[in-house]
C-alpha cells in the first residue's frame, strides 16, 4: 500500500504546517511527472496525451468527480477501494484520482476525456503499473507471469466499477478462465475430472493467476507435491516404505491434474502399462510367477494397494 505516494507522503509530513504543505505540492508534481514518463512509454496510445496534461493537473478530490459522475461515485461506496479514503487519514478524498490521476485539467475542460487517465484505453503495461503501485506487495511476481507477458493486464480479469463478484472479478471462476483457456474447458469436461465446474475446487486452489516462481503459474509450495497433498493428506507421507517416484518425479508422473478419460485421473488407461514404464522387467520376472501381473487382466493395484507408500509393507501390499 506504499506506492500510494501522494497520500502516504502527505500524511507523513507534519499536518497543518506550511513546510508540510510545500513538501506535498512538490511531491504531487513529482508524482505527475513520474506518471507521465511511465505513460509515454513506447506503444502508449492516446492516454499518453492524457498523462501529459495530468502532469500539470492538481488533485481535486472525489466529491468534485462525483458532481459529474454521480452514478459511478454512488456505486463506488460499496467498492473495496472506497477503503482508500481511510488510508493514512485521506482527508482530501483522493480515491478516484489514485487510479485516474490528478483531475483538475479534466474538470477545467468540462470533462475532456483526453485529459484524464482511463485504464480501459491504456496499454497493459500502464494499467499494471498503476495497480501495482499499491498491490505489488501481495502480487510481487505479476510482471514476470505468463499473463503479464501475454499482455493480459489486471483488468483482463478484474472489473473495478462493474463487478458483482468477489475480488472484483469480471466473471466467477472457472468461467473467467475459460474465456481464454478453451483447452482446459475441454479437460474439465472429461469423464474423470477435479470438480471445478461443479464448484468443489477452483483453478486458483492450484494456480495463482498473478504469477509465481514455478512453471504454469502453479502456487509456490515447499515441495512440488504440496500443491496436491494440502488436500490429499493421506498420500502425503512420509512413509516407512516410500514409493520412490511419488517423491522423486511427483504426482504428475502417474496422474493428470485437470481431467482424464481414465479413472483416478491416471495418465494412462491401463495400470499395468503405467507401472511397466518403470517396472517391466520386475513385473515379468519370477516374483509374479509366470509373468502374473504383467498382463493387463489384473491391475497391479489390486495387490499393491498402498501404491503411494506404506508404513507396513515394502511392496505396498498393505
Structural contact between residues 192 and 260, judged by C-beta atoms closer than 8 angstroms: yes
Nearer to ligand HEC, 14 or 150 (CB): 150
CA distance 133 to 4: 6
CA distance 47 to 116: 8
Using the rule CB under 6 A, which residue among 156, 212, 259, 309 binds ligand HEC? 156
Stretch that binds ligand HEC, among 10-18, 19-27, 30-38, 166-174 (CB under 6 A): 166-174
- b/e code 20-31 from CB counts within 10 Å (16+ = b): eeebbeebbeeb
Q: Which of residues 276-295 bind ligand HEC (CB under 6 A)?
A: 276-279, 282-283, 287-288, 293-294
Using the rule CB under 6 A, which residue among 157, 212, 309, 310 binds ligand HEC? 157
Nearer to ligand HEC, 13 or 303 (CB): 303
Q: Which of residues 113-132 bind ligand HEC (CB under 6 A)?
A: 113, 116, 118-121, 127-128, 130-132
Stretch that binds ligand HEC, among 9-17, 20-28, 33-41, 198-206 (CB under 6 A): 198-206
Nearer to ligand HEC, 32 or 174 (CB): 174
Residue 227 in the binding site for ligand HEC (CB under 6 A): yes
User: Site for ligand HEC (CB under 6 A): how many residues?
Assistant: 134
**What is the sign, positive or negative, of the torsion defined by CA atoms of 141, 145, 151, 156?**
negative
CA distance 267 to 252: 8
CA separation, residue 253 to residues 69, 236, 244, 256, 266 (Å):
56, 15, 11, 8, 9
Cell of 40: 509515454
Q: Which of residues 33-72 bind ligand HEC (CB under 6 A)?
A: 60, 62, 64-65, 67-69, 72
Amino acid at each position: 500500500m506504499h506506492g500510494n505516494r501522494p497520500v502516504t507522503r502527505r500524511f507523513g509530513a507534519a499536518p497543518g504546517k506550511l513546510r508540510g504543505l510545500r513538501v506535498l505540492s512538490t511531491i504531487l508534481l513529482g508524482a505527475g511527472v513520474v506518471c507521465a514518463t511511465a505513460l509515454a512509454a513506447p506503444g502508449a496510445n492516446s492516454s499518453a496525451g492524457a498523462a501529459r496534461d495530468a502532469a500539470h493537473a492538481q488533485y481535486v478530490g472525489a466529491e468534485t468527480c462525483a458532481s459529474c459522475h454521480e452514478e459511478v461515485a454512488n456505486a463506488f461506496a460499496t467498492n473495496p477501494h472506497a477503503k482508500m479514503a481511510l488510508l493514512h487519514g485521506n482527508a482530501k478524498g483522493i480515491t478516484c484520482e489514485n487510479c485516474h490521476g490528478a483531475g483538475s485539467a479534466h474538470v477545467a475542460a468540462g470533462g475532456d476525456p483526453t485529459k484524464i487517465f482511463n485504464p480501459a484505453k491504456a496499454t497493459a503495461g500502464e494499467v499494471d503499473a498503476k495497480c501495482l503501485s499499491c498491490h505489488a506487495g501481495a502480487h510481487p511476481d505479476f510482471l514476470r507471469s505468463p499473463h503479464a507477458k501475454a499482455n493480459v493486464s489486471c483488468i483482463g480479469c478484474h472489473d473495478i466499477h462493474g463487478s458483482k463478484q468477489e475480488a472484483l472479478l469480471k466473471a466467477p471462476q472457472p468461467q473467467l478462465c475459460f474465456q481464454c483457456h478453451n483447452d482446459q474447458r475441454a479437460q474439465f469436461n472429461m469423464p474423470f475430472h477435479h470438480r471445478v465446474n461443479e464448484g468443489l475446487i477452483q483453478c486458483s486452489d492450484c494456480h495463482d493467476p498473478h504469477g509465481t516462481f514455478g512453471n504454469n503459474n502453479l502456487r509456490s509450495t515447499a515441495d512440488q507435491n504440496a500443491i496436491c497433498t494440502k488436500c490429499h493428506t493421506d498420500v502425503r507421507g512420509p512413509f516407512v516404505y516410500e514409493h520412490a517416484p511419488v517423491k522423486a518425479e511427483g504426482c504428475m508422473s502417474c496422474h493428470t491434474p485437470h481431467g482424464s478419460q481414465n479413472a483416478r485421473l491416471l495418465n494412462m488407461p491401463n495400470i499395468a502399462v503405467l507401472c511397466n514404464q518403470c517396472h517391466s522387467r520386475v513385473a515379468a520376472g519370477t516374483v509374479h510367477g509366470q509373468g502374473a501381473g504383467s498382463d493387463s487382466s489384473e491391475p497391479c493395484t489390486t495387490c499393491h494397494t498402498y501404491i503411494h507408500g506404506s508404513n507396513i509393507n515394502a511392496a505396498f501390499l498393505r
